[in-house]
Structure 1
Amino acid sequence: MATREVVVSAGVFRSPQLLMQFNIPNLQDRPLVGSTYQINMNTSSQEFNAENVAFFNSTYFASPPTGILTGTVDITSFENVPPEFNLTLSPATQAAITALPPDWPVFQYLPVNGDLLLFRSIASKPPTSTAVVPNYGSIAAAVAAPQSRGSVSIRSADFSDPPVIDIGYLNDPADVELLMVAFKRSRQAWRSPAIRPALVGDEYWPGYDLVPDGDDEAIRNHVVENVMPIWEAMGTCAMGTDASNGVVDSLARVFGARGLRVADASALPFSLPGHPASSVFGLAERVAEWVKEDFGTGQGAAAVRDR
């Protein structure tokens, strides 16, 4: 049994579950525990790669493997809403974007050497070209500053029971509008002079026949029906200045508890633009330093205030 301090690091879904099951007075009913769940969401389009895939395959299957196929996603890019799309956004969405820090990107784009349909259960339509063996490239176009929120709750006092997760996809209309822009931008990228020469045939999925460029209703339906995560949830035990707006303080100590901290992505107060692994590592290192600083002083257990 811990005599000084406990550091919870069970992940964005299990950490809030643990806190709600710890039987800590005033904590089980704390509305912010598990309530500010965020995750980046993306949509995508698929294209045929050119015939040089045979060369790339030969380098990949060499010993040792070399070439671009050794990494599925090697680059990524970020941007804000291009001016040409600003007027397509509602006032509420524009206000949400304006509230972001000036250097905070709205979109992230991930070119993928593969067919992202493998992540879905929907049926794949036949290739639009049979001149070459089908080989695909995709652009995962993500909203890096999502406005939608989900939650995590418990179904029982037994930790072996999985928590109840409300993903909250697209429960804020701003995310639908932004995903529509991201989808349109990915199509523009495919048609750009830099990329177009590397392609054969037209868009494979969803295809201009099913989702025409100028049909906003079709684009909206496509992104809503096919949204997927980037598996980077955070914020279910978010940092805050006090118990009214957070679960842990700036030193990752749980409000209303003694000798208890949280050190994982659940403590991040908002969704980060990009992949959060390095930020989670940084948080873990800082928590380790804070525990070391408090060790032997009694602060790890006694100085955590009841709030």
Structure 2
Amino acid sequence: MRTSFVAMSYNKLSPKSHIYPSNSPPVAFIVQGELPRLLTETKTSHHFLHTYTIQMTEMSTESFDFIVVGGGTAGIALAARLSEVAHQKVLVLEAGADHSDDPRVRTPAFYSALFGTDADWGFRTIAQEQLGGRSISLNQGKALGGSSVINAHVFAPQAYTVIDEYARFGNVGWDWDTIAPYYTKAITVLDTPEEHRQLLGVDGCSPTDLGKGGPVQLSYPGDPWHPIRKIWAETFDRKGWRMAGNPWVNASVGGFSNLASIDPVKRERCHAAKAYYEPIRQRENLHVILNAHVTKIIFSDGEPQPKAIGVQYSHEGQTKIASAGKEIIISAGALQSPKLLELSGIGNAEILRRNGIEVVKDLPGVGENLQDHLVCDITFAAEDKIGDTLDALARQEPKAMEEAMGNFIQKHEGILTSSGILTYAYLPVMDFLQDPGRQNLVKMTTDSLSRSSSTPEEIRAGKYLEIATRTLLDPGRPSAAYLTAIGQNPVALDPATGEPIPPQPGKHLTIAVILAQPLSRGTVHIVSNDPAEKPEIDPRYLSHYLDVEVFARNVMFIESLAKSAPLSDVLKQPLQPSTPLARMTDLDAAKRYMQSRAISMWHPAGTCAMLPEDIRGVVDDHLRVHGISNLRVVDASVVPLLPPGNLQSTIYALAERAADLIKEAHRLP
């Protein structure tokens, strides 16, 4: 089967083509439903509003050299790199559709309007005990381009200290010096004029330090003159926490303006399919089949160890098989790669037998070690001088909506050109930098580290605790990431009512904090042998006592930031948080607030971890599944330790690194 996908204007349709318009219903977030609906449904001859995906299919019986299961952020990038070798046939099987021409995908401010649509897998956790029994949404992209199609665009730099920890786990070739070039290989950042760099608070950076030839187009989102950028930079500068240099070269602690995967010219989302696939979609050796659900990996008989030779998948109501001469690479994401391994007989033997699945390889680490970033925020009433915010759009004010649409469509500018997240910061826990907080931390971690570890899970947990201890005791390493969003957050629940806070009058600024390196570990496992059934997801948020202590202190620090000049000058004084429970007087109040307010940043990782098998790893340092031939995993599930900020940049670097590893293994140019 060979399938190609071509984006065409409505007046160029072939009579033999099948048309798949983007017409799924929008969902509300920062910008609520009416504006995305209007932009989606507006009838005009403008190409932006009237494009479709065309599917043309021709039958073929040939096999492939490589099969990539999942055309998401990592999968489509990896496939593009592998297909650079013209004589290698690459097949991508993607469960979702191509949503590249959906206005809600292309418009940065509308990212959350895709939640709950057919571009979103719509996962939810089981009830989380430490979050008040709440079930948490885990929005993951079901589309060509994966979660890069529905994320909030933030392209956060990695901390070199985290990558070096990958190597300390025994992963040869995963130190910062080796991996850093892959971060910049994936991206292109236009030179920023000197006067803009000062406003952005990045004047200490050299433009030559950033990527220039990569497919992912990055920019500083929104208006470069927005006051919050300079205010944020000056606030951190006065406290001595401004990022000293370029965070992309040597990220440590401090505040900076964040990059985003938004095209600097068109001001539209630049996702993985747009960046990696669209320029080479006519490549003859690259085959992409959409709406194809892989249900099982096929292994050969009579081999000394199991050898992956093909996959079974459903497409257009039929069960089909594709074979791979060289390798099968699973890139289905942290919540579905372990599911596919288990359905194929790779995983904890007890779980497999319980679900009636024949054991191919007993690999207990599959689906374990789930880690995710929690985020907790406080929204403050702001003065008018804060500049443009998304608040009027959240209230669906007609004049503001009309102006925003016009500016974006006609001029490629205005409030719709960002998700609202313009600034970022990496910080340590301030309470732990000096006594008595430091002594308290040393006591908490020493008591845990001194306990004997006998099981593989305990040994692995001990290694993670050692990393956390080094991070928390080092003032130059971040334990949290902070960000600002120019507007209110009507999604996270009001701790006082358990319901979202209705859009409020006036302007607002939201300050949020991310628990950078959680110690809490969860699981994702199948609940039956039915491929159509979603896995059970249990992140066990805040189940580790140290996460509770670290996160609560960081949440309390939000108010300290809000009271710091000049940031305090653009917030109404005394501070007016959107909910009374955000006025935290002590650590216990902070814990209660975060347990009822925190939600996921949608960064699940680690469920097929790149760790030694004897401590419940799933892949080795070449991303090969332990004990299986011709099978790798390349996606967020292999990440052994979360970066301090958003995961997107790390996934692109991972895909670029994996492509080189695979080419080297098969001696491909």
Please tell me the TM-score bracket, short chain as reference: 0.7 to 0.9
Check if 1:141 corresponds to 2:513: yes
Indicate the structure with greater strand content.
2
Aligned to 1:75: 423
Checking the alignment, whether the CA contact within 8 Å between 2:482 and 2:514 is kept in structure 1 is: yes
Aligned to 1:16: 338
Instruction: Go from structure 1 to structure 2 and tell me whether the alpha carbon gap of 1:74 and 1:38 turns closer, same or farther (over 3 Å shift).
Output: same
Aligned to 1:92: 444
Greater Cα shift, 230-239 or 279-288 = 279-288
Aligned to 2:58: none
Q: TM-score, normalised by structure 2?
A: 0.40
Letter in 2 for 1:98: T
Among 643, 648, 651, the residue aligned to 1:280: 651
Find the aligned partners of 2:529 and 2:382 in 1 and give their Cα distance. Answer: 52
Aligned to 1:232: 603
Check if 1:36 corresponds to 2:369: yes
Counterpart secondary structure, 2:663: helix
1:187 Cα deviation after fit: 0.4
Q: TM-score, normalised by structure 1?
A: 0.83
1:125 Cα deviation after fit: 6.0
Q: Describe the superposition over 1:193-252 as per-residue Cα deviations: whole angstroms up to 9, x where unpaired.
A: 111110225322333xx3544333222111111121111111000001334441000000
Greater Cα shift, 155-164 or 8-17 = 155-164
Checking the alignment, whether the CA contact within 8 Å between 2:556 and 2:587 is kept in structure 1 is: no
Checking the alignment, whether the CA contact within 8 Å between 1:27 and 1:256 is kept in structure 2 is: no
1:9 Cα deviation after fit: 0.2
Find the aligned partners of 2:609 and 2:500 in 1 and give their Cα distance. Answer: 39
Q: Describe the superposition over 1:7-53 as per-residue Cα deviations: whole angstroms up to 9, x where unpaired.
A: 00000000011111112476664221111010111211110121236
Find the aligned partners of 1:9 and 1:117 in 2 and give their Cα distance. Answer: 33
Aligned to 1:304: none
Find the aligned partners of 1:114 and 1:55 in 2 and give their Cα distance. Answer: 9
Checking the alignment, whether the CA contact within 8 Å between 2:612 and 2:620 is kept in structure 1 is: yes
1:70 Cα deviation after fit: 3.6
Aligned to 2:477: 104
Find the aligned partners of 2:524 and 2:653 in 1 and give their Cα distance. Answer: 24
Q: Describe the superposition over 1:108-137 as per-residue Cα deviations: whole angstroms up to 9, x where unpaired.
A: 00111122232447335689xx9xx32221
Check if 1:251 corresponds to 2:622: yes
Instruction: Go from structure 1 to structure 2 and tell me whether the alpha carbon gap of 1:296 and 1:193 turns closer, same or farther (over 3 Å shift).
Output: closer
Instruction: Go from structure 1 to structure 2 and tell me whether the alpha carbon gap of 1:169 and 1:70 turns closer, same or farther (over 3 Å shift).
Output: same
The gaps in structure 2 that reach 5 residues or longer are 1-322, 347-357, 391-399, 450-464
Counterpart secondary structure, 2:664: helix
Find the aligned partners of 1:287 and 1:257 in 2 and give their Cα distance. Answer: 17
Aligned to 2:556: 184
Greater Cα shift, 156-165 or 53-62 = 53-62
1:294 Cα deviation after fit: 2.4
Counterpart secondary structure, 2:325: coil
Instruction: Go from structure 1 to structure 2 and tell me whether the alpha carbon gap of 1:32 and 1:54 turns closer, same or farther (over 3 Å shift).
Output: closer
Counterpart secondary structure, 1:145: coil
Instruction: Go from structure 1 to structure 2 and tell me whether the alpha carbon gap of 1:55 and 1:248 turns closer, same or farther (over 3 Å shift).
Output: closer
1:68 Cα deviation after fit: 6.8
Aligned to 1:49: 382
Size of the alignment, in residue pairs?
291
Find the aligned partners of 1:296 and 1:197 in 2 and give their Cα distance. Answer: 60
1:88 Cα deviation after fit: 6.3
Counterpart secondary structure, 1:4: strand
1:156 Cα deviation after fit: 1.4
Instruction: Go from structure 1 to structure 2 and tell me whether the alpha carbon gap of 1:174 and 1:55 turns closer, same or farther (over 3 Å shift).
Output: closer
Among 167, 189, 196, the residue aligned to 2:539: 167
Aligned to 1:265: 636
Letter in 1 for 2:551: L
Checking the alignment, whether the CA contact within 8 Å between 1:48 and 1:134 is kept in structure 2 is: yes
Q: Describe the superposition over 1:136-158 as per-residue Cα deviations: whole angstroms up to 9, x where unpaired.
A: 21111111111111111101122
Instruction: Go from structure 1 to structure 2 and tell me whether the alpha carbon gap of 1:86 and 1:204 turns closer, same or farther (over 3 Å shift).
Output: same
Find the aligned partners of 1:287 and 1:212 in 2 and give their Cα distance. Answer: 47
Find the aligned partners of 2:388 and 2:330 in 1 and give their Cα distance. Answer: 49
Q: Describe the superposition over 1:285-305 as per-residue Cα deviations: whole angstroms up to 9, x where unpaired.
A: 2222222222379xxxxxxxx
Aligned to 1:305: none
Instruction: Go from structure 1 to structure 2 and tell me whether the alpha carbon gap of 1:175 and 1:206 turns closer, same or farther (over 3 Å shift).
Output: farther
Find the aligned partners of 1:134 and 1:67 in 2 and give their Cα distance. Answer: 19
Find the aligned partners of 1:137 and 1:214 in 2 and give their Cα distance. Answer: 21
Checking the alignment, whether the CA contact within 8 Å between 1:237 and 1:266 is kept in structure 2 is: yes
Letter in 2 for 1:205: S
Checking the alignment, whether the CA contact within 8 Å between 2:561 and 2:567 is kept in structure 1 is: yes
Q: Percent identity?
A: 29
Instruction: Go from structure 1 to structure 2 and tell me whether the alpha carbon gap of 1:88 and 1:51 turns closer, same or farther (over 3 Å shift).
Output: farther
1:262 Cα deviation after fit: 0.2
Counterpart secondary structure, 1:11: coil
Checking the alignment, whether the CA contact within 8 Å between 1:12 and 1:264 is kept in structure 2 is: yes
Higher relative CO (Cα under 8 Å, sequence separation at least 6) belongs to 1
The gaps in structure 1 that reach 5 residues or longer are 298-307
Aligned to 1:123: 499
Find the aligned partners of 1:9 and 1:125 in 2 and give their Cα distance. Answer: 37
